Structure 1
């Protein structure tokens, strides 16, 4: 008899206040990036490099150059992304900072590369409608060409243009903020609403799994209930598992 472990996804809760939700999403998804960018000492050292100052100025010029671009709003979202040059130059700056902080917590270059790629992926999928890895369940829920979405992007762009001249760290914080806002707009906020599931809803199931004698169950199935497409090709005859 197969042992079954049920890992539950709890009922969706009412979303918290928008600003708090955006900040929470940033912290949950880009924890190391947000921790570093909120450290005044780290910010000062990061921004002291002339290359980072130049990168910040180039970003400002790029954002200003998006006014009236076409096709909007996708051309604006494209301009929010981390460019290959920014990804590389920031990675090098982080490598220098990490070398000067041996034995201390620092934002590592490899982590930055992962975060930069994740930021651009979120902006592509939920800001431009690019198909995600699992289109049937993770695609953009808003219509990228709709008037409402265009107004949302235009409003965010106007806010950035009206903001005081940012420091180079804004390259990091602005992109993560836009990514979190687009996740919220597309109702992809579970990372904020259901944190630490292994400590709460799934704690009993995980504890049970740790004490199982798994060699007694050579054909065990771990069942994870959820919502998704009914794809016939994903079903397998039980006989193929024996």
Structure 2
């Protein structure tokens, strides 16, 4: 009970204190910081700006909403499931905070970005704290968790959300740090693996891109999509091996300066192998493709995000967005990408089209022009925002 009393006191301090007070003697947690920056860029920036944070807290409608949230959490006492549910933002609370949000955000403005980030907090709490089944249960979520382990994760998340962390949003509300603690407890830090993507295995290609004359090529890149294995311990699926050969053959034609290989740690759940990395290895070792021609995108777990994340990399490389790329994959997947239902799926899952599908070149080659809308960060998919 003593621990609960201390936690409650800390939570009350978080609601009532100024941002400067809460920062006193706070320590940095570099992993949580990185996750926060990657998943919640708008709120993370707010947590680093005491003046903006204090101004937001001072708004009467925000202060009243935060007090109601505190009272809801306090009423839970030691009921960890109740605390988790109390961390979830209601639609009304989300509207108040989103309307009050300001700062650098996505193309559709700070209120829209704040709405996505609040929805991301709710998704993490529900999926990793309350056991809600995610949209893709085979590869998302925490999987089967022993009840005792589930309880320990909830308790640790509660304590961590109330233990002061430097550069955090705890002075406003503990829910963001609570969500980050749940992800960390489940060892799902996928969103920050391989970062920064401009370095590491991608460094040779990014150096080459700096001085590249893009006009020399018909396509800015060949985008090679993933088809993950379903067998434990299998680095690259049979389809993946086919994609690699298709990619090597198409690259040899000289129409594009780069291969963008896209596929993360998806199949089976939490596999140790990132498909993009395994395709890169095969292209270099089996087909002699130079490392400076290969860019890996090791986060995507769906065809929708294969294209979105490839578009992000093209923007980071300085590729012209008014130039086509070529999607290279097996005929079935290629036909699926061209189908109007795929566009509808993009609208449902992303909220926009990551680019424009163009002409069909062959059963395995489909033109694609990337869109700048792909830059939007969306933590509703916390493993690949």
Q: How does 1:133-212 map to 2 (within 5 A)?
A: 133-141=135-143, 143=145, 146-157=147-158, 170=170, 173-205=173-205, 211=214
1-side partners of 2:182 and 2:137: how far apart? 17
Find the partner of 1:87 among 94, 110, 115. 94
C-alpha distance in 2 between matches for 1:227 and 1:158: 30
How far residue 25 of structure 1 moved from its aligned partner, in angstroms, is: 1.2
Structure number having the greater strand percentage: 2
Conservation of the 8 A alpha-carbon contact between 2:194 and 2:200:
no
Aligned residue number for residue 101 of structure 1: none
Q: Which has the higher contact order (CA 8 A, sep 6+)?
A: 1
Corresponding position: 1:223 with 2:233: no
Match of 1:114 in 2: 116
> How far does residue 115 in structure 1 lie from its aligned partner after superposition?
0.7
- Give the structure 2 partner of residue 241 of structure 1: 364
Structure having the higher helix fraction is 1
Alignment deviations for residues 43-72 of structure 1 (CA, whole Å, 9 cap, x no partner): 221111121221121111100122355xx6
Partners of 1:138 and 1:203 lie apart in 2 by 29
Which runs of 5 or more residues in structure 2 are unaligned? 1-27, 220-253, 269-302, 304-328, 333-361, 366-385
Please say which of residues 32-41 and 194-203 is displaced more in the overlay: 194-203
Please say if residues 59 and 171 of structure 1, whose CA atoms lie closer than 8 Å, have aligned partners that are also in contact. no
CA-to-aligned-CA distance 1:3-39 (integer Å, 9 cap, x gap): xxxxxxxxxxxxxxx9332232112221221111221
Report how many residues are paired.
205
Is contact 1:56-1:170 (8 Å) kept?
A: no
Cα distance in 2 for partners of 1:93, 1:83 equals 16
Q: Report the alpha carbon displacement of residue 236 of structure 1 after superposing the two structures with TM.
A: 4.2
The TM-score normalised by the length of structure 2 is 0.45
- For the Cα contact (< 8 Å) 2:158–2:178, is it kept in 1? no
* TM-score, normalised via structure 1 length: 0.67
Per-residue CA deviation, residues 57-108 of structure 1 (Å, 9 max, x unaligned), is 1111100122355xx63x43221112212111112223xxx4xxxxx75892
Q: 1:32 aligns with which of 26, 34, 42?
A: 42
Change (3 A) 1:116 1:61: same
Q: 2:125 aligns with which of 99, 123, 135?
A: 123
